[in-house]
């Protein structure tokens, strides 16, 4: 077990220290011990999922754990999850991810930068949707296909318009 000291922040803005311990291999478990006598436990397919369980319990008591994994833009990649997710990406707003965006899951974070589990999930879903459309329009192959279809279509292919007005090409 690894032991870390972190802060929690209450909805009133008060902070205090807590002790966090977690497993280093499956089964992935996380334990937060509050000096005021309450323990919060989580278990998941990786540390990130265990942390989410702990955070949900803490939110019921109006507390938020101040760590990188509780930041609005934090999320592990699939390969990080497979390795236990002890690191997360802090997704930048307007650029693609790089290695400099990887941070320890349980690294300390400022109290003002952490959000609820629900806020974090909503942000991640919105981010995925915006990237889907951004990547589609930034991809040069997409533009070539659009221009090719608009101008004359691929060589040796015949245009066909479907009943709902969609232009397709066939050999």
Beta strands in 60-138 (DSSP E): 63-66, 74-75, 87-90, 102-104
Closest among 73, 74, 105 to 87, alpha carbons compared: 105
Query: What confidence tens digit (pLDDT) does each residue in 3-21 have?
Result: 999 999 998 989 999 999 9
This prediction has a pTM of 0.73
At 25 the pLDDT is 87
CB atoms within 10 A of CB 10: 14
> Which residue would you say has higher pLDDT here, 53 or 81?
53
pLDDT at 52 over 90: yes
């Amino acid at each position: 077990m690894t032991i870390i000291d972190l802060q929690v922040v209450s909805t009133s803005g008060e902070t205090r220290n807590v002790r966090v311990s977690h497993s280093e291999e499956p089964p992935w478990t996380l334990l937060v011990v509050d000096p005021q006598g309450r323990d919060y436990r989580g278990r998941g397919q990786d540390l990130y999922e265990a942390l989410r369980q702990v955070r949900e319990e803490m939110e019921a008591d109006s507390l938020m754990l101040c760590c990188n994994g509780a930041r609005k833009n934090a999320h592990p990649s699939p390969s990080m999850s497979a390795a236990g997710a002890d690191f997360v990406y802090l997704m930048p707003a307007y650029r693609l991810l790089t290695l400099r965006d990887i941070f320890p899951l349980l690294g300390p974070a400022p109290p003002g930068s952490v959000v609820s589990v629900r806020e974090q999930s909503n942000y991640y879903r919105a981010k995925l949707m915006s990237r889907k459309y951004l990547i589609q329009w930034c991809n040069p192959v997409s533009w070539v296909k659009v221009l090719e279809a608009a101008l004359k279509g691929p060589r040796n292919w015949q245009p066909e318009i479907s009943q709902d007005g969609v232009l397709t090409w066939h050999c």
